[in-house]
């Protein structure tokens, strides 16, 4: 009988130790880095402008970020997008709400890190109109 109680105590202790440590790292961490795939302006980037920017940047506010116009409007802004150099592009400062940039976009709050990182990767891949 004592042996059974001792075995039950050891098993219970083992289960208790496992239950206290097994869930420590069980939190979901959002992967904000886009995969190293070719990013399509039409498929990946334009939908971000449609969701966050077109309400304020249709033809009345420059740059015009509506479909069919957004790429040329963004590329034509000097220093706005520097293909292959997201860090040097003013657009990234605006999207990250950089304190040195007086014009954060969107003005209310930053986009998700996933969207910002996707735009950054697109610029670093050469900011292609694909």
Domain regions of the chain by residue span = 41-124
**Predicted pLDDT of residue 28:** 55
Indicate the burial class of 76 (C-beta count within 10 angstroms; 0-12, 13-18, 19 or more). Answer: exposed
Q: Is the pTM of this model over 0.85?
A: no
Distance CA 3, CA 82 (A): 75
- Position 97 pLDDT exceeds 80: yes
Indicate the burial class of 20 (C-beta count within 10 angstroms; 0-12, 13-18, 19 or more). Answer: exposed
What pLDDT, in 10s, does the model give residues 26-85? Answer: 555 555 555 567 899 999 999 999 999 999 988 777 899 999 999 999 999 999 999 999
């Amino acid at each position: 009988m004592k042996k059974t109680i001792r075995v039950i105590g050891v098993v219970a202790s083992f289960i208790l130790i496992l239950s206290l440590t097994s869930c420590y790292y069980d939190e979901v961490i959002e992967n904000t880095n886009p995969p190293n795939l070719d990013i399509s302006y039409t498929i990946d980037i334009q939908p971000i402008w449609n969701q966050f920017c077109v309400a304020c940047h249709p033809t009345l506010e420059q740059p015009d970020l509506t479909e069919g116009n957004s790429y040329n409007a963004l590329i034509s802004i000097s220093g706005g997008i520097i293909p292959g150099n997201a860090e040097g592009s003013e657009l990234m400062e605006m999207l990250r709400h950089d304190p040195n940039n007086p014009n954060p976009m969107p003005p209310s709050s930053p986009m998700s890190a996933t969207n910002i990182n996707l735009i950054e990767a697109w610029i670093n891949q050469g900011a292609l109109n694909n």
